[in-house]
Amino acid sequence: MPPTPRPLTIIVATTPIPTPTTTTESSSNTPIRLGIGHSGTLPWPRIKTDMSFFARVTSRPPAPGTINAIIMGRKTYDSVPAHLRPLAKRISTIITRDVEGLKPRVAREVEDRKAKLAASAAAAAAASASGGNGNAAQQQQQPATDAIVCGGLDEALQELETRYGEGKLGKVFVIGGAEIYGAVLAKGAGGLGGGPVRIVMTNVEKKGYAEGDQGEVFECDTFFPVDEELFGEKEGWRRVTPEEVTEWVGEEVTGRWIEEGMLGCRWWGMNVNSMCTIED
Ligand SMILES: NC(=O)c1ccc[n+]([C@@H]2O[C@H](COP(=O)([O-])OP(=O)(O)OC[C@H]3O[C@@H](n4cnc5c(N)ncnc54)[C@H](OP(=O)(O)O)[C@@H]3O)[C@@H](O)[C@H]2O)c1
């Protein structure tokens, strides 16, 4: 029997941006776009709850000895602070039109990052040996950190299977930005090997937005390529229950709002199954 195609999970945080197309449009039917970025970074101040959710979900391997991959555009890779690049315990898979130009820099960054992670693992092992709390064994079982550079989405998926498949590749996430989300959505499940395409989306709002204070939005210049109202059964999308998202991500997701400072965030998910394609 052929292997079951691997799900591809888009993970994204969005904020609603009402964008009137005519001056006569009433605020109740103003189209909502989903903002994801501004000036090469996120539109909102750091949301610790969401960042740690992202880190846990994308780095937690589905089985011991496996490692997850995160696929991203070169601009998203460069938006990660230099001292955190490439993100630990995952295979960063960077898409660029300048593969040969980018490879040497990424190779250097991988070596630097691995050296720093090894040093902190050694320090933690030494500390746990003196304290005898068993953390050293845990450290050794952590997934490795790596990065590859590819010329496109198909090449990235192929390269991941070739290099890491064979029981070593865990979950595969697409972490942005807009150009790469767009490439995945344009191909759809049918164009990506037939595995389901899933979206795990964090909604981010300023407090007061839901109560009608729609002046309180973030400034955005980069948007998720599908607007909120376009998600629907007609386009092949199905909104899933929090229980299903919980199963996808490996930890409890309730869909309820969580407040952090002046911001609120919540997670929900959508899924297109392998029989659907995304069409304009
Ligand atoms: N809210 C969120 O969850 C989230 C997540 C990720 C990113 N973001 C934000 O999104 C913004 C970045 O998004 P973006 O759309 O501008 O950039 P992006 O998708 O991260 O990267 C674009 C780059 O990817 C490469 N690329 C794109 N299509 C390609 C193709 N068909 N073949 C080969 N290479 C290709 C090109 O790299 P080269 O220029 O090197 O050729 C291109 O410049 C930032 O503001 C970031 O903070 C937000």
Three-class secondary structure assignment of the chain: CCCCCCCEEEEEEEEEEECCCCCCCCHHHCCEEEEEEECCECCCCCCHHHHHHHHHHHHCCCCCCCEEEEEEEHHHHHHCCHHHCCCCCEEEEEECCCHHHHHHHHHHHHHHHHHHHHHHHHHHHHHHHHHCCCHHHHHHCCCCCEEEEECCHHHHHHHHHHHHHHHHEEEEEEEECHHHHHHHHHHHHHHCCCCCEEEEEEEEEECCCCCCCCCCCCCCCEECCCCHHHCCHHHCCEECCHHHHHHHHCCCCCCCCEEECCEEEEEEEEEECCCCCCCC
Which residue of 97, 103, 202 sits with most ligand 1 atoms within 8 Å of its CB, as the best mutation to test the pocket?
A: 97
User: Is there an atom of ligand 1 within 6 Å of 161 CB?
Assistant: no
How many structural domains are present in the chain?
2
* 159 lies in the same domain as 67: yes
C-alpha 271/C-alpha 189 separation (Å) is 10
Show the domain range for 87.
60-173
| 102 located within any domain | yes
Note whether 265 and 258 are within 8 A (CB): yes
Q: Whose CA is nearest to atom 22 of ligand 1?
A: 73
Distance from Cα 75 to the centre of ligand 1, integer Å: 5
CA distance 223 to 53: 21
Residues 153 and 203 occupy one common structural domain: no
Contacts of 96 by beta carbon, 8 Å cutoff, 6+ apart = 73, 74, 102, 149, 150, 151
Report whether residue 145 contacts ligand 1, using a CB cutoff of 6 Å. Answer: no
Distance 64 CA to ligand 1 centre (A): 31
Q: What per-residue confidence (pLDDT) applies to 280?
A: 32
pLDDT value at position 32?
A: 86
Ligand 1 pocket check: which of 42, 179, 181, 187 to mutate, most ligand atoms within 8 Å of Cβ? 179
Residues 122 and 205 in one domain: no
Give pLDDT, residue 231.
63
Q: Are residues 79 and 161 in the same domain?
A: yes
Nearest CA to ligand 1 atom 26: 96
pLDDT, tens digit only, all 280 positions of the chain: 556 778 999 999 999 998 877 655 555 667 889 999 999 999 999 999 999 999 999 999 999 999 999 999 999 999 999 999 999 999 999 999 999 999 999 999 999 999 999 998 888 888 877 775 555 555 557 889 999 999 999 999 999 999 998 789 999 999 999 999 999 988 877 777 778 889 999 999 988 776 766 668 899 999 999 876 666 655 677 888 889 999 999 999 998 899 898 888 888 777 765 444 444 3
Instruction: Classify residue 184: in a domain, yes or no.
Output: no
Do residues 167 and 77 both lie within one domain? yes
CA–centroid distance, 72 to ligand 1, in Å, is 7
Atom of ligand 1 nearest to the CA of 12: 3
Q: How close is the Cα of 76 to the center of ligand 1, in Å?
A: 5
Same domain for 200 and 158? no
Within a domain: residue 74?
A: yes
Whether 75 is in the pocket of ligand 1, judged by its Cβ within 6 Å, is: yes
Q: Is 245 in the pocket of ligand 1 (CB under 6 A)?
A: no
Same domain, 84 and 166: yes
Q: Which atom of ligand 1 is nearest to the CA of 79?
A: 47
Q: Does any ligand 1 atom lie closer than 6 A to the CB of residue 182?
A: no
Q: Does 276 lie in the same domain as 207? A: yes
